[in-house]
Amino acid sequence: MTRMTDDRARELLRQAVPIPEWEHDRSADLWPRVRRRIDEGHNPPPAVDWVLAMALVALYLLQPSLLGILLLHF
């Protein structure tokens, strides 16, 4: 049994998995879309999130013993 050299292994790997050609498929590149979303900034959280946060604070103020149970969920 002969041992495979590193060069032969690289050659076989290049044959089995060709390098993708990105020049003719620029639509697959996600970075321009990510950059555009970063530049647009972020939207403030929805009102539902604020209502839930206020409800948790109110629940804690009314019943402080429930804090332990609430912390177990986060």
Do 70 and 56 contact (CB within 8 A), yes or no?
yes
Q: What is the pTM of this model?
A: 0.40
pLDDT of residue 1: 58
Is the torsion defined by CA of 10, 16, 20, 21 positive or negative?
positive
Average pLDDT on 45-60 reads 91
d(CA 42, CA 7): 49
Asked whether residue 64 carries a pLDDT value surpassing 80, the answer given is yes
Tell me the domain boundaries of the chain. Answer: 45-74
pLDDT per residue as tens digits for the range 11-46:
999 889 877 666 556 666 788 888 888 888 877 889
